[in-house]
């Protein structure tokens, strides 16, 4: 199906020349000289219908290329999962927060881990000192180990591995690009990731083996177009590695999930999600020859942008989060986390966490936004922005392919440099007041009342260390030693390490012990680079 609108385009050009430009040339007529999105897309003053192939560009919800959504009914069937990210202190404290949120109407769980956990250190490691339980709960798990622990607990409670469902983030490439919480060199990390893919396809078919994350890329300062491109480039690298491993693309691709940021530019963010869905669908069909339609669907979790929260006038963050949440819903997210108003200052209090959840519930139940599938689809401006972001993302992906793929591009520092430059330009615009941040560089106020924030008990670390040491004292050291020896042998060879990690956690081996055994075989990324230099 194609539309023809030559007369409308001609009329638009006449309007712009004869009416708009005359008005715009008057002194002080426009707020600024040019209007652009964060990705540098020039914004026209007015958009009209364009000639395009509807089936190729849009299609229908639940059908290729999934621009308009991955399900035919979308939120008419059920709302997106309201999955608030939470975790701090001890497992008991985090569990209490989970129960509080569930009683408040939350419909999914997402666990935040502390820095030692993410970096593969036990609570009593010297490298964990001062960080235990600070920005997440202390649970002994990095990606593959978390999966193993979850399986072990599920089986202990009578649920077989094949029935377990959930998601493990397991995305290390974005750590090298933007976040920094990596442990092993890229080659070893990619092996573990594909081990998880293979293991889940065989043993835990309802589990999502990865959440390919653009969120942290955007938090580091990327543009919307870069977020699409670098996230999908990571995804391409993972799929390519799994296919080279011998996995059938349709055996695992339907379980891949994504994680995107929701920033401030409302229309650009909605367009970003639509462009990402379309581009991923084409990539899976044309590049990887996926046959199952589910393999072409980009299912994504969204989180409002932590980097947009301000410590000044923190109540303003409620409005920012509401607009971002609305953009995520208009863009067709499958699940959503909304940030607390105080997260520029500390972890959210119970009151702030509940208000963030209520924001989603109001959007779902009171706005009417969930009653129409892809309600902004067909907007002249939105469809133009969707195309423009897709074109910019393709340009980045082409450059990455020319370098030999994302792993090589990261080694050359390409995405890191692009993000650094975008972040610099964004901050410069703020400092020069070309970009207004309400309450920061304009509309600031003096003498704001102190804002009550959440505090983590400083005695937590000592209590956690005692619990860990008691746990070690209660186990069979011989069983731990055997499991670690088997893990090292498997890592030195070509065995899938995930079953060996499962055996290790069932022998009560700790996170640090498992991570250190793999460090002995694979090394650490930072130390490897230092040795080469």
**Statement: residue 533 has pLDDT above 60:** no
Which of these, 442, 221, 428, lies nearest to 313 by C-alpha position? 442
pLDDT tens digit string along 160-180? 999 999 999 899 999 999 988
| Separation CA 527–CA 182 (nearest Å) | 12
d(CA 315, CA 319): 8
Question: Which of residues 231 and 169 earns the better pLDDT score?
Answer: 231
Given a cut of 90, whether residue 298 has pLDDT beyond it is: yes
Q: What is the pLDDT of residue 1?
A: 44
Q: Where residue 138 falls among pLDDT bands split at 50, 70, 90?
A: low
* 119 close to 113: Cβ distance less than 8 angstroms: no
Q: Is the pLDDT of residue 343 over 80?
A: yes
Question: Which residue spans within 223-317 are E strands per DSSP?
Answer: 257-262, 300-304
15 pLDDT tier (thresholds 50, 70, 90): very high
- Output the pLDDT for position 98: 94
**Beta strands, E only, 217-351:** 257-262, 300-304, 335-337
Separation CA 386–CA 363 (nearest Å): 23
Q: 131-145, 147-161, 487-501 — which is least confidently predicted?
A: 131-145
Q: How many CB atoms lie within 10 A of CB 283?
A: 20
- DSSP label of 298: -
- CA pair distance 427, 220, nearest whole angstrom: 12
368 falls in which pLDDT band (50, 70, 90)?
Answer: very high
**Mean model confidence pLDDT for the chain:** 93
Residues 6 or more apart whose Cβ sits within 8 Å of residue 140: 117, 122, 149, 510, 511, 512
Of residues 414 and 119, which shows the higher confidence score? 414
Cβ partners under 8 Å of residue 158, min gap 6: none
Token readout for 358 is 């209520």
> Do the beta carbons of residue 310 and residue 440 sit within 8 Å?
yes
Q: How far apart are CA 240 and CA 75, in angstroms?
A: 33
Question: For residue 4, what pLDDT is reported?
Answer: 56
Mean pLDDT of 93-108: 95
What residue segments make up the domains of the chain, in order of their start? 74-84+105-112+140-412, 481-532
What percent of the chain stands above pLDDT 70?
97
- Least Cα distance to 399 among 225, 255, 209, 248 occurs for 225
Q: How many residues does the chain have?
A: 533
CA 417, 421, 422, 423 torsion: positive or negative? positive
What's the rounded mean pLDDT across residues 430-447?
A: 94
CA 417 to chain centre: 20
Query: Alpha carbon of 458 to those of 90, 122, 530: distances in Å?
Result: 12, 17, 34
Give residue 508's pLDDT band: very low, low, confident or very high (50, 70, 90): very high
Residues 123, 454: contact at Cβ < 8 Å? no
In angstroms, the CA 242 to CA 253 distance is 10
- DSSP conformation class of 148: H
pLDDT at 279 over 80: yes
Q: Tell me the longest C-alpha to C-alpha distance in the chain.
A: 86
Chain segment 191-214, per-residue pLDDT in tens: 999 999 999 999 999 999 999 999
Whether residue 529 has pLDDT greater than 70:
no
What's the angle, vertex CA 299, arms to CA 296 and CA 304, rounded to 5? 145
pLDDT of residue 309: 98
Residue closest to 232 by CA, chosen among 272, 270, 290, 192: 272
Helix (H, G, I), strand (E, B) or coil at 319: helix
Q: Which range is least confidently modeled, 64-73, 139-148, 433-442, 463-472?
A: 139-148
Consecutive H or E run containing 81: strand 81-86
Q: Residue 528: is its pLDDT beyond 70?
A: no
Helices vs strands, H then E, count in the chain:
22, 8
Supply 526's token pair.
């930072």
Which residues are within 8 A (CB) of 433 and not within 5 positions of it... i.e. 6 or more apart? Answer: 441, 442
In this prediction, residue 137 carries a pLDDT of: 53
Where on the phi/psi map is residue 41: left (φ > 0), alpha (ψ -120 to 50), or beta? Answer: beta
> Check: CATH 3.40.50.1970 for 74-84+105-112+140-412?
no
Q: Which of 237, 228, 115, 255 is nearest to 182 (CA)?
A: 115
């Amino acid at each position: 199906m194609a539309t023809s609108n030559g007369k409308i385009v001609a009329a638009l050009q006449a309007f712009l020349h004869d009416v708009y430009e005359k008005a715009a040339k008057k002194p002080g007529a426009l707020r600024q000289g040019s209007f652009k999105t964060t990705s540098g897309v020039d914004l026209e003053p007015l958009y009209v219908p364009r000639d395009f192939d509807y089936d190729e560009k849009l299609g229908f919800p639940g059908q290729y290329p999934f621009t308009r959504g991955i399900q035919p009914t979308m939120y008419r069937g059920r709302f997106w999962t309201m999955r608030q990210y939470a975790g701090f202190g001890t497992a008991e404290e985090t569990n209490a927060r989970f129960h509080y949120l569930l009683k408040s109407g939350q419909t999914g769980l997402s666990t935040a881990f502390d820095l030692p956990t993410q970096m593969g250190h036990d609570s009593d490691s010297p490298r964990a000192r001062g960080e235990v339980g600070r920005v997440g709960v202390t649970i002994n798990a990095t990606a593959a180990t978390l999966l193993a622990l979850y399986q072990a607990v599920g089986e202990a409670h009578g649920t077989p591995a094949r029935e377990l469902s959930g998601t493990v983030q397991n995305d290390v490439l974005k750590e090298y690009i933007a976040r920094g919480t990596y442990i092993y060199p890229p080659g070893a990390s990619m092996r573990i990731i594909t081990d998880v893919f293979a293991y889940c396809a065989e043993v835990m078919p309802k589990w999502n083996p990865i959440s390919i994350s653009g969120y942290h890329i955007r938090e580091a300062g990327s543009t919307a177009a870069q977020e699409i491109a670098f996230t999908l480039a990571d995804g391409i690298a993972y799929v390519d590695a799994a296919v080279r491993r011998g996995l059938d693309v349709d055996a695992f691709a339907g379980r891949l999930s994504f994680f995107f940021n929701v920033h401030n530019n409302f229309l650009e963010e909605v367009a970003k999600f639509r462009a990402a869905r379309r581009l991923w669908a084409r990539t899976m069909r044309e590049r990887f020859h996926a046959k199952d339609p589910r393999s072409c669907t980009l299912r994504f979790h969204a989180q409002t942008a932590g980097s947009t929260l301000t410590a000044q006038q923190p109540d303003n963050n409620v409005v920012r989060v509401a607009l971002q949440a609305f953009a995520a819903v208009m863009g067709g997210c499958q699940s959503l986390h909304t940030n607390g108003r105080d997260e520029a200052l500390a972890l959210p209090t119970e009151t702030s966490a509940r208000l963030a959840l209520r924001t989603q519930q109001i959007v779902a139940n009171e706005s009417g936004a969930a009653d129409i599938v892809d309600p902004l689809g067909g907007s002249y401006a939105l469809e133009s922005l969707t195309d423009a972001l897709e074109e910019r993302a393709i340009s980045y992906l082409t450059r990455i392919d020319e370098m030999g793929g994302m792993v090589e591009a990261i080694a050359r520092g390409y995405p890191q440099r692009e993000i650094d430059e975008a972040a610099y330009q964004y901050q410069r615009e703020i400092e020069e007041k070309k970009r207004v941040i309400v309450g920061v560089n304009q509309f600031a106020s003096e003498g704001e009342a102190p804002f009550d924030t959440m505090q983590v008990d400083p005695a937590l670390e000592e209590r956690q260390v005692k619990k860990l040491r008691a746990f070690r004292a209660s186990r069979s050291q011989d069983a731990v030693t055997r499991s670690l020896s088997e893990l090292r042998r498997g890592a030195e060879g070509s065995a899938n390490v995930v079953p060996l990690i499962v055996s290790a956690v069932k022998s009560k081996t700790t996170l640090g012990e498992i991570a250190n055994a793999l460090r002995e075989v694979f090394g650490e990324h930072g130390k490897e680079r230092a040795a080469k230099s």
